[in-house]
Amino acid sequence: MHRDLKPSNILVRKSDNKVFIIDFNVARKHDPEKETMKSNTGIVQFSAPEMFTSEPYTNKVDIWSAGIILYMMLGGMQPFINDNL
């Protein structure tokens, strides 16, 4: 799990339009039999809600972040704008 997907962690090489994901500082391999992920990492605007409930979460948090990024690419704004976590 990357756990910190955001636009600044996605690079595109112009010469061949190849996409690179960078900044794996908080990335972890998810093994449901050994451990559960509970820590809240990353930026709130791109993090899945379950990351802030102290409940275990899965690699689906990265799908949430990718959806937020796609929404911003298509709509030009964030889907959720609020100061309240």
Which active-site residues does the annotation give?
4
**Tokens in use for 30?**
């998810």
Angle at 65 between CA 30 and CA 59, to 5 degrees: 15
Element holding 10 (H helix, E strand):
strand 10-13
**Tokens in use for 2?**
């990357």
**Tokens in use for 47?**
């993090």
